[in-house]
């Protein structure tokens, strides 16, 4: 999740996986081996560490601790996802497979290349121990732990037939903003996982699954258009049950957590989305690193009890459609992009604006600045070229990453459909007229 700390070797703040069926027809090999029940989640991210154990302090899991947690999950999910292989988590992979779960096993990657090598080699060793999907890192690009090139190198190691002779599919998972910005990574994987957390966007619970729906379908549609047939799954989705005051209009309560589970599972079933719920259990150790919400993302408490309101989902309870209505700030009309705040020449600050008459959850903003005698530049950086608005259409981003940028006399922003890959101008004399033809809307301003 976006507040997730940079975890050390082998850390698995984990998740029991939702079923990893692709966007098209499921393959028979992906069907559940778990005993039949009224309703299974597709998958959960596994939260394995009990009270008193902190993976950041090097605490390993015992086989008994793993067994206790996995026992809570039998018959509730088809897939379990694990974030790493160290600290005893390799045993969790074996135990989960023996219990009949489909297993998505991850290598936890961070900025330490030595520990990354240990994780990758550990995952390679586990590929013959009941692993059905290998996930090469989680939110590595979000945390800026690795460059795109370094991440791709590790993906290629896992996909190398000499390391993966059975052809276990290899995936990567990150937030949608990073995946839209790094299509080269999607080129390299067999499956792609996207993390979407309306909670971290400050969305009220009444609109949470609606936001999730439009964010996910915009991403899935883009992948299907560019990489036809590549499976897309929702790798993390959840809502904490405690940890006030919350984020914006997102309030963590037991009732809201139960509502999110029911509505998100109803949505996933209706839309044939392979979703991995975050998370299987509460984990106390996260409070120190993620704040008051960190310890409360589990469907189960620390003692293996389902939280209030959760059980009905496993009995097959569904909710009506709360998700499909599009967002159109300002109502119907010609899509428009406006600036609400432009920093004056010579000053830093945020460029701010609004999207009107277009669904902000299915579009992106790209901004260029013109510096006298230096041309047009994409902003703010080559690693941050695409920007997204909130559900109401409000957006803001930095425009300056170099002192010369403060002298920019023109700012030009485009509104494109999500997934559009902008031209990376670095001192161009002009902007390509084709971008205006491709854009849904655009705006240019002379700096005050």
DSSP characters for 10-62? T----EEEEP---SSSPPGGGS--SPP-S--EEEEE---PPTT--GGGTPPPP
pLDDT in tens, 361-417: 999 999 999 999 999 999 999 989 999 999 999 999 999 999 999 999 999 999 999
Q: What is the pLDDT at residue 36?
A: 53
User: Nearest-CA neighbor of 22 among 270, 232, 269?
Assistant: 232
Q: How many helices (H) and strands (E) does the chain have?
A: 12, 17
> What is the chain's percent helix, strand, coil content, to nearest 5?
30, 25, 45
From start to end of 231-318, where are the E strands?
232-237, 275-278
When pLDDT is cut at 50, 70 and 90, the band that residue 129 belongs to is confident
What integer is the mean pLDDT of 131-152?
98
User: What's residue 383's pLDDT?
Assistant: 86
Region for 22 from its dihedrals, namely left if φ exceeds 0, alpha if ψ lies in -120 to 50, beta otherwise:
beta
Alpha helices (H) in 127-182, listed in sequence order: 140-143, 148-159, 176-181
Q: Residue 430: which of 368, 352, 358 has the closest Cα?
A: 368
> Which H helix or E strand runs over 288?
helix 287-290
CB atoms within 10 A of CB 51: 12
Q: Which residues pair with 81 in a beta bridge?
A: 15, 104
* Predicted local confidence at residue 29, as pLDDT: 39
Question: Which CATH number describes the domain made up of 336-446?
Answer: 2.60.40
Between 292 and 172, the higher pLDDT residue: 172
Residues 6-62 pLDDT 10s: 333 233 333 333 333 333 333 333 444 555 567 999 999 999 999 999 988 999 999
**Residue 214 region by backbone torsions, left for phi larger than 0, else alpha for psi between -120 and 50, else beta:** alpha
Q: Which CATH number fits domain 41-315: 3.20.20.80, 3.50.50.60, 1.20.1740.10, 1.10.1760.20?
A: 3.20.20.80
Question: Residue 163 pLDDT > 90, yes or no?
Answer: yes
pLDDT in tens, 271-304: 999 999 999 999 999 999 988 899 999 999 999 9
d(CA 31, CA 203): 34
Dump strand ranges (E) for 254-349: 275-278, 336-341
Say yes or no to pLDDT of 205 above 90: yes
Sequence spans of domains, the chain = 41-315, 336-446
pLDDT band at residue 128 using 50, 70 and 90 as cut-offs: confident
For CA atoms 260, 263, 267, 270, the dihedral sign is: positive
Closest by alpha carbon to 10, among 96, 101, 120? 120
The pLDDT assigned to 34 comes to: 54
Q: Tell me the CA distances in angstroms from 86 to 116, 125, 141, 199, one per residue in order.
A: 11, 12, 21, 29
Q: Provide the pairing of β-strand 191-195 with 232-237.
A: parallel
pLDDT digit string, tens, across residues 89-108: 999 999 999 999 999 999 99
Instruction: Report the length, in residues, of the chain.
Output: 448
Share of the chain above pLDDT 90, in %: 87
319-328 pLDDT, tens digit each: 999 999 988 9
Instruction: Give the largest Cα separation in the chain, rounded.
Output: 69
What is the per-residue pLDDT for 16? Answer: 30
Query: What confidence score (pLDDT) does residue 31 get?
Result: 46
Put the strands of the sheet holding 336-341 in their side by side order. Answer: 336-341, 350-356, 394-398
Q: Determine the 3-state secondary structure of 186 from DSSP.
A: helix
Across 166-177, average pLDDT: 98
Compute the mean pLDDT over every residue in the chain, rounded to the nearest whole number: 92
Residue range 253-271: mean pLDDT, rounded: 98
Joined together, the tokens standing for residue 109 give 């990657």
CA distance 232 to 20: 8
């Amino acid at each position: 999740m976006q507040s997730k700390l940079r975890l050390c070797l082998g850390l698995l703040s984990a998740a029991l996986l939702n079923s990893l069926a692709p966007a098209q027809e499921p393959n028979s090999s992906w069907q559940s081996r778990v005993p039949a029940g009224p309703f299974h989640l597709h998958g959960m991210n596994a939260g394995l560490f009990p009270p008193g154990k902190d993976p950041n302090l090097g605490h390993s899991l015992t086989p008994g601790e793993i067994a206790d947690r996995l026992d809570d999950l039998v018959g509730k999910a088809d897939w379990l996802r694990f974030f790493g292989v160290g600290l005893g988590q390799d045993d969790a992979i074996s135990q989960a497979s023996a219990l009949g779960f489909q297993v998505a096993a991850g290598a936890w990657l961070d900025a330490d290349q030595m520990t990354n090598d240990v994780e990758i080699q550990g995952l390679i060793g586990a590929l013959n121990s009941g692993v059905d999907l290998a996930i090469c890192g989680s939110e590595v690009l979000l945390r800026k732990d690795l460059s795109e090139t370094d991440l791709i190198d590790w993906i290629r190691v896992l996909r190398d037939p000499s390391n993966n002779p059975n052809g276990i599919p290899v995936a990567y998972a990150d937030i949608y903003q990073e995946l839209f910005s790094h299509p080269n990574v999607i080129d390299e994987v067999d499956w792609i996982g996207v993390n979407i957390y309306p909670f971290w966007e400050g969305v009220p619970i009444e609109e949470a699954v609606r936001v999730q729906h439009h964010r996910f379908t915009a991403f899935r549609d883009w992948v299907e258009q560019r990489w036809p047939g590549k499976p897309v799954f929702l790798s993390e989705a959840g809502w904490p049950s405690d940890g006030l005051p919350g984020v914006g209009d997102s309030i963590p309560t037991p009732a809201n957590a139960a509502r999110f589970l029911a509505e998100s599972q109803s949505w996933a079933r209706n839309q044939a989305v392979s979703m991995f719920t975050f998370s299987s259990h509460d984990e106390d150790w996260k409070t120190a690193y993620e704040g008051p919400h960190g310890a409360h993302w589990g469907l189960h408490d620390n003692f293996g009890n389902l939280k209030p309101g959760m059980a009905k989902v496993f009995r097959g309870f569904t909710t009506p459609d709360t998700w499909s209505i599009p967002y159109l700030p300002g109502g119907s009309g010609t899509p428009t992009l406006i600036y609400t705040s432009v920093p004056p020449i010579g000053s830093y600050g945020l460029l701010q604006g609004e999207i009107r008459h277009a669904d902000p959850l299915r579009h992106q903003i790209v901004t260029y600045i013109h510096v006298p005698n230096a041309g047009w530049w994409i902003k703010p950086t080559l690693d941050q070229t695409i920007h997204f608005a909130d559900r109401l259409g409000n957006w803001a981003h930095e425009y300056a990453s170099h002192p010369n940028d403060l002298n920019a006399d023109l700012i030009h922003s485009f509104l494109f459909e999500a997934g559009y890959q902008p031209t990376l101008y670095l001192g161009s004399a002009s902007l390509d007229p084709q971008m205006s033809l491709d854009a849904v809307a655009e705006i240019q301003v002379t700096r005050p």
